[in-house]
A and B are shown apart, each in its own frame.
Chain A
Amino acid sequence: MTTTAPSAASGALLDVSDLVVEFPMRGFRRPPFRALHGVSLDVRPGECVGLVGESGSGKTTIGRAVLGLIPAQSGTITFDGRDMAAMSRRERRDLSDDIQVVFQDPYTSLNPAMTVEDILSEPLIAKGNVDRKSARTRIRELLDQVRLPADAVSRLPREFSGGQRQRIAIARALALSPRLIVCDEPVSALDLSTQGRVLDLFIDIQEQTGVAYLFISHDLSVIRHISHRVAVLYHGEIVESGECDQVTARPEHPYTQRLFMAAPVPNPIEQTKRREARWKLMAEQAAKNEGSAA
């Protein structure tokens, strides 16, 4: 496994190439807003690819396009060798065995009026061929996998804390034993201590089941913790990608450098050093920009 560039598509589970997504704007004949300008990346089986970017960079848009929740203007999304754009709605639905999602907000991604059992049986019901008893058994397995007690089934989401709700959402994503889970900021809404535990759960599950993650986050430390490979998104384009260690420790693109220098270190002395390094970097980049402009 020496090839690490995301464009090395051989054996890729998910392959996104030249993806362009536009959103129509309000108003007569206004040009659409282009959220993604030809993005390419791939995810291999059992691997976690981290997608990091700031608000408006288009990272969530990539996730939603892969999930089929928004249409692509151009470019291809291939899953396991099959082009997803060419699929009918029915075929796309059948693919839900393989691609699942965990959303950011554990407070709105679970229907407040449904019990945990109803929530977890939903994907099983969608498949249609599951009887009550085996659905129950599967739900118990899932709760066990995300380390929630079995008696959680009859409760409503509001009875759980944020971290626990996110575990329920993870269990729902695992119900059909998918091969890829799109994780859209799954720990951003959680408290610090909970965040670490939920991330470790993600890692455990990946090592047990071999599921691949497309892990979207704005938080560099989270991305660093969980990813094998990282892609950095800026204004709808991937500006840098590669091995996690290479991108997060020795970033090459000026934006990535700025981004990583801006994240504060939880230690006053190290943070003072990083802050000074950031100021220096900003000054250097500004000088370079002026030089290239002149």
Chain B
Amino acid sequence: MTELTPTLEAIPTAPPVRNHLVRTILRNPLGLYAVIVLALVILMALIAPLLAPFDPNELHLDNVNMGPSSTYLLGGDSVGRDILSRLIWSSRNTLIGALIGVSVASSIGMIAGLVAGYYGKVLDAVFSWVASILMALPTMIVLLAVFQAVGAQIMLAMVAFGVMLSPGFFRLVRQQVMSVKNELYVDAARVSGLTDWRIIGRHILLVIRAPLIIQASHVAGIAIVMQSGLEFLGLGDPKSSTWGGMLQNAFQSIYNAQLNLLWPGLAIGLTVSSFMLLGNAIRDTIQRTSTARVRRPRKVGAVSTQDPAAATPPAETLGAPLAAASDPDVLLAIRNLTVGYPKDDGYTEVVKGVSLDVRRGEVLGLVGESGSGKTQTAFATLGLLPQGGTILHGSIALNGEELVGLDENGYSRLRGTKIAYVPQEPMSNLDPCFRVGYQLVEPIRAQLGLSAAEAKDEALRLLKRVGIPQPERAFNSYPHEISGGMAQRVLIAGAVSCRPDLLIADEPTTALDVTVQAEVLDLLRDLQAEYGMSVLLVTHNFGVVADICHRIAVMQLGRIVEYNNATSLFDHPQHPYTRMLLESTLEHSVPRPYHLAERVTE
């Protein structure tokens, strides 16, 4: 089991997983600031009776509209109450109000969202309608109506406010649940015999937890603003002090004691902004971890974990020697190419000194497993490395012209005319908004300078050439109306439309069915012979290589370990890695004997 041991040993002992989120938030300066402010405000609210020097409703006639003094640290309001004491007590009342709003909104929204998302159908339709109606109602007017009906009870108003804001939670949870519901691990849990509620509790809540906290944090901020607004309008309970109520009081004596406006305003501003910042900090953290989590370690991700020293670097490439760079027979000469992606210190190299030749009129296969750097080599040649990808050193020469260091203009002159590209996923390389014909005609017009009618004729001729039975119909179709095999033929037609010298095909048949694959390979072989172009074919499939390639380069961990013509490579593989790969193919396995089935049934 060579696959297991080295990888597992390379992983450091189990990283602390549970505190991951909290720690990253605290490392974010804004997140840290928000957490500190909120912690202080909450602490203040909790121990308000201990902190406040005076009763918040006690009138001190010596303190009416007075500025700060040694007895009354922040002065007094228009009826002589101590502002500091009121500020402290207000934090308690304001936070309780916000808490009620958030709890009501999140519990209604979450439960309705879970049910609607998980069970769908009628419940989903009904809940979505209710949510839409609630969202259409103006919140402030509903709250004013509530005050009319039940009187000045700010806590009851916050319940109503929670109901009004629940659609936000509902839509968030519903959408998250719908996307998680179809994950394979939820199917696996269902097959394991878990009940629906267990699945929701274990799998779905785990995923929607973070977005819920973000939403709750934002809603808490909005709730404080809303509540303060209502209090400011004089709709609050005059007996309990809140920041909004203090603001209203201070506003009445704005000409006598301007400073009194500052304190509640500051408290509201700091608290609300901290809630918002906390929400943003959590969102940033989650986005960062989710992008860092490479779902499929292909292309870039896979190699980064490999320690270059651990990989056994071959002393030199086995097989045929390279031609001299000046050899006119060589179309593409790659010499000592190194491609890296930036990391904390320096670069992670994914291609480590690759040298190869593509001769005129030959098909070169670049074979390797995921993370071998084969696609990176192809993309480097196309000048299309993903973001961050850098050619660290080496040279790529096409027809003797150096490509490394070429600017975007230089490349766009080459791509389409000299170099063409056939991708792995035909469907994602056709724009679903435009007809197939338009996508073919535009580049032909741009590159060959034909008129619209001539370009259309040319496109139809190409579609016929690549074996599409009704070219006219395919020409007028949208990409979703044609099959994957057909889409790949269209892309091949586009690639050869300008008679390129070099065609780079990245796993061109991997996404196709095996019968379609055989047809597409036949087509590529025919076109290659007809146009006399060179092909650089990137693939992991030795069958495909055997079918079409003249020469083969085998890549492992960013290096070419063996480079030879096809028959020699298959008959006498030199490098142990090549031998291992060829032995892994299941072509000559014998059917399994039946002994076990007999033993069990006996």
Q: Across the interface, which residues of A come within 8 angstroms of B293, CB to CB? A: 112, 158
Chain B stretch 487-522: residues in CB contact (< 8 A) with chain A: 513-515, 517-518, 521-522
Beta-carbon contact of A69 and B8 below 8 Å: no
B198 sits at the interface (CB 8 A): yes
A113-B206, A259-B515 are known contacts. Are A108 and B540 too (CB-CB below 8 A)?
A: no
A247-281 interface code vs B (CB 8 A; 1 in, 0 out):
01000000000110111111111110001001000
B148 sits at the interface (CB 8 A): no
Question: Which range contains the number of B residues in contact with the other chain?
Answer: 35 or more
A190 to chain B, nearest CB (A): 9
A50 to chain B, nearest CB (A): 10
A126-B192, A194-B3, A265-B543 are known contacts. Are A207 and B596 too (CB-CB below 8 A)?
A: yes
B410 sits at the interface (CB 8 A): no
Q: Across the interface, which residues of A come within 8 angstroms of B296, CB to CB? A: 107, 189
A78 sits at the interface (CB 8 A): no
A221-B586, A262-B514, A262-B515 are known contacts. Are A193 and B193 too (CB-CB below 8 A)?
A: no
- Which of the candidate stretches A27-35, A79-87, A132-140, A224-232 sits at the interface with the other chain? A224-232
**Option from B185, B546, B567 in Cβ contact (under 8 Å) with A265:** B546
Q: Across the interface, which residues of A come within 8 angstroms of B581, CB to CB? A: 192-193
- Which of the candidate stretches A14-22, A96-104, A284-292 sits at the interface with the other chain? A96-104
User: Closest residue to A47 on the B side, CB-wise?
Assistant: B597
A191-B540, A218-B514, A222-B586 are known contacts. Are A114 and B601 too (CB-CB below 8 A)?
A: no
A59-87 interface code vs B (CB 8 A; 1 in, 0 out):
00000000111000000000000000000
A146 to chain B, nearest CB (A): 10
Q: Across the interface, which residues of B come within 8 angstroms of A67, CB to CB? A: 187, 191
B152 to chain A, nearest CB (A): 46
Beta-carbon contact of B592 and A226 below 8 Å: yes
A111-B206, A149-B4, A197-B3 are known contacts. Are A263 and B543 too (CB-CB below 8 A)?
A: yes
- Highest count of chain A CB atoms <10 Å: which of B13, B522, B570, B586: B586
Beta-carbon contact of A278 and B518 below 8 Å: yes
Q: Across the interface, which residues of B come within 8 angstroms of A245, CB to CB? A: 591
- Highest count of chain A CB atoms <10 Å: which of B514, B582, B589: B514
Beta-carbon contact of A193 and B592 below 8 Å: no
Beta-carbon contact of A122 and B4 below 8 Å: no
Chain A stretch 155-180: residues in CB contact (< 8 A) with chain B: 155-156, 158-164, 169, 172, 175-176
Beta-carbon contact of A271 and B596 below 8 Å: no
Q: Across the interface, which residues of A come within 8 angstroms of B517, CB to CB? A: 262, 264
A18 to chain B, nearest CB (A): 24
Give bound CA distance, A176 to B326, whole Å: 66
Beta-carbon contact of B188 and A45 below 8 Å: no
B202 sits at the interface (CB 8 A): yes
Tally of A interface residues using CB under 8 Å: 98
Give bound CA distance, A258 to B518, whole Å: 10
A155-B14, A210-B600, A268-B570 are known contacts. Are A99 and B191 too (CB-CB below 8 A)?
A: yes
Q: Across the interface, which residues of A come within 8 angstroms of B513, CB to CB? A: 54-55, 218
Q: Across the interface, which residues of B come within 8 angstroms of A127, CB to CB? A: 193
- Highest count of chain A CB atoms <10 Å: which of B192, B207, B521, B544: B192
B65 sits at the interface (CB 8 A): no
**Option from A109, A210, A261 in Cβ contact (under 8 Å) with B184:** A109
- Highest count of chain B CB atoms <10 Å: which of A125, A175, A264: A264
User: Closest residue to B210 on the A side, CB-wise?
Assistant: A113
Q: Across the interface, which residues of A come within 8 angstroms of B203, CB to CB? A: 111
Chain B stretch 101-129: residues in CB contact (< 8 A) with chain A: none
Q: Across the interface, which residues of B come within 8 angstroms of A154, CB to CB? A: 14
- Highest count of chain A CB atoms <10 Å: which of B184, B202, B522, B584: B184
Q: Across the interface, which residues of A come within 8 angstroms of B202, CB to CB? A: 114, 122
User: Closest residue to B180 on the A side, CB-wise?
Assistant: A111
Count of A-B residue pairs with CB < 8 Å: 223
Q: Across the interface, which residues of A come within 8 angstroms of B586, CB to CB? A: 195-196, 199, 221-222, 224-225
Beta-carbon contact of A147 and B11 below 8 Å: no
A205-243 interface code vs B (CB 8 A; 1 in, 0 out):
011001000000011111011111000000000000001
Give bound CA distance, A93 to B14, whole Å: 34
B369 sits at the interface (CB 8 A): yes
Q: Across the interface, which residues of A come within 8 angstroms of B401, CB to CB? A: none
B563-602 interface code vs A (CB 8 A; 1 in, 0 out):
0001100100000000011101111010110101111110
Q: Across the interface, which residues of A come within 8 angstroms of B35, CB to CB? A: none
B311 sits at the interface (CB 8 A): no
Give bound CA distance, A99 to B369, whole Å: 33
Beta-carbon contact of B597 and A44 below 8 Å: yes
Beta-carbon contact of A152 and B596 below 8 Å: no
Beta-carbon contact of B592 and A203 below 8 Å: yes
Chain B stretch 255-305: residues in CB contact (< 8 A) with chain A: 293-297
Give bound CA distance, A107 to B584, whole Å: 23
A145 sits at the interface (CB 8 A): no
Beta-carbon contact of A159 and B11 below 8 Å: yes
Q: Across the interface, which residues of A come within 8 angstroms of B518, CB to CB? A: 261-264, 275, 278
B7 sits at the interface (CB 8 A): yes
B1-26 interface code vs A (CB 8 A; 1 in, 0 out):
10111011001011001000000000
Give the B-binding residues of A (Cβ under 8 A).
Answer: 1, 11, 44-48, 54-55, 67-69, 93-97, 99-101, 103-105, 107-115, 122-123, 125-127, 147-149, 151-152, 154-156, 158-164, 169, 172, 175-176, 189, 191-197, 199, 203, 206-207, 210, 218-222, 224-228, 243-245, 248, 258-259, 261-271, 275, 278
**5 A-B pairs closest in CB distance:** A264-B543, A96-B193, A46-B600, A266-B542, A109-B184
Give the A-binding residues of B (Cβ under 8 A).
Answer: 1, 3-5, 7-8, 11, 13-14, 17, 183-185, 187-195, 198, 202-203, 206-207, 293-297, 369-370, 484, 513-515, 517-518, 521-522, 540-547, 566-567, 570, 580-582, 584-587, 589, 591-592, 594, 596-601
A-B contact pairs, 18 of them (CB 8 A): A44-B601, A109-B187, A112-B293, A115-B17, A126-B192, A126-B198, A147-B4, A151-B13, A192-B584, A193-B3, A193-B581, A206-B596, A221-B586, A245-B591, A268-B546, A268-B567, A271-B543, A275-B522
Q: A111-B185, A155-B11, A262-B515 are in contact. List 14 more A-B contacts (CB 8 A).
A: A1-B601, A44-B600, A68-B191, A95-B193, A101-B187, A105-B184, A112-B293, A126-B193, A148-B4, A151-B13, A227-B591, A264-B541, A266-B582, A271-B546
